[in-house]
Amino acid sequence: MKKSNNNNSLKFLELAKEKQELGEYKEALEYYKKSIEEDPDNLESYFGLNLINSYIEMEKELKNDDNDCKTNKHIELFNVFNEFLDKK
């Protein structure tokens, strides 16, 4: 993944990751967007943005049907992606 050299973009990216780890997904989403505004070529911010959007959608699905096996698989996949990002 291409890493940004834009300091503002990197600051917003770090804030987004912190909010994501705290489970504050809507705030994380906003910081990912700000990071992209500062550096539209920062692929890590796009990845994080899409990941958070997916997670928010999965949370909505879970609220609608707690026993949906497919949704639980999505959550498992999300957790695998988070573990992957933590190693980077």
Q: According to the model, what pLDDT value does residue 55 have?
A: 86
Rounded mean pLDDT of 49-70?
A: 76
- The mean per-residue pLDDT over the stretch 15-36 comes to 95
Q: What are the residue ranges spanned by the domains of the chain?
A: 7-87
pLDDT at position 58: 80
Give the model's confidence band at 31: pLDDT under 50 very low, under 70 low, under 90 confident, else very high.
Answer: very high
What b/e readout covers 59-85, taking b as 16+ CB neighbours within 10 angstroms? Answer: eebeeeeeeeeebeebeeebeeeeeee
Distance separating alpha carbons of residues 25 and 56, to the nearest angstrom: 7
At 79, the pLDDT band (50, 70, 90 cuts) reads confident
- What percentage of the chain carries pLDDT values higher than 90? 52
- Average pLDDT value for residue range 54-58: 85
Architecture of domain 7-87: Alpha Horseshoe (1.25)
CA dihedral 52, 86, 40, 33 (to 10 degrees): 30
Tokens, residue 43: 């692929």
Does the structure show a pLDDT above 70 at 3? no
**pLDDT for residue 1:** 47
